[in-house]
Amino acid sequence: MSIFNVNARNYSIYTIPAAWLLAQAVSPRVRLASLGLGHNVYPRDDLAKASANLSPAETAKLKRQEAAHVNGLENFPLFAAAMIVGNEAGLEARTLNLLGVGYLACRGVYTWLYTTVSKEKTSYLRYEPGYMMLIVGLRFGGLAIFCVFIH
C-alpha cells in the first residue's frame, strides 16, 4: 500500500492538525528564546524588544516569520471548517485527500517564500501558491456546499 494512493482511506481529517503545526512551525518564539530574548510574561512584545539587540537582517527575517505565522493562523479556521464540512457532507475520500494535501503543499511553499524572500520584487512570487490555496479552497467550498444542499 502506497501513501500516495489517495483512494485508500480518508486521511483528510489529519490535514487539520498538520495545517496548525505548519503555522506554528514558523513562529519566531523558539528562535528568540534560543537567543535569550524571549519572555513568557508578554511574548507578543518579544520581537519589538529584541530588535534592538539583533542585526537588521535577522530582525527582518524574524518579522517575516511572525507575519507568516499569523497568516497561517488567520487561514487555519477556514481550512479546518472546510475539511470538517467536507467530511460531514460526504465528499469522496479521494477529493478530500487531494484538496487537503494540495492545501498543505501550497501553504508550505507560501510559508517558505514568505519567510525567505527579502526583496520587494521577488516577494510577489508567494502570490502563486497563495492563489492556488484560494482556488483549492473555492473548489472545495463549492463541492461541500453542493453536497450539503443535495443531501
- pLDDT tens-place string over residues 5-37: 555 688 889 999 999 999 999 988 888 888 888
Q: Is 114 exposed, middle or buried (0-12, 13-18, 19+ CB in 10 A)?
A: buried
Cell of 117: 524572500
Question: What is the grid cell recorded at 96?
Answer: 478530500
| pLDDT-based confidence at residue 126 (cuts at 50, 70, 90) | low
Of 126, 130, 131, whose CA–CA distance to 112 is shortest? Answer: 126
Give me the mean pLDDT over the 116-122 stretch.
72
Residue of higher predicted confidence among 129 and 148: 129
- Higher-confidence residue: 71 or 131? 71
Asked if 140 contacts 82 with a C-beta cutoff of 8 angstroms, the reply is: yes
Alpha-carbon distance of 112 to 125, in angstroms, equals 11
Query: What whole-number distance in Å separates Cα of residue 149 and Cα of residue 151?
Result: 6
Task: Provide the pLDDT confidence category of residue 150 given band limits of 50, 70 and 90.
Answer: very low
Q: Is the torsion defined by CA of 85, 99, 110, 34 positive or negative?
A: positive
Burial of 44 (0-12, 13-18, 19+ CB in 10 A): exposed
Q: Name the pLDDT band for 135 (thresholds 50, 70, 90).
A: low
Identify whether the C-beta of residue 114 lies closer than 8 Å to the C-beta of residue 64: yes
Q: CB of 72 within 8 A of CB of 28?
A: no
The pLDDT, as a whole number, for residue 46 is 75
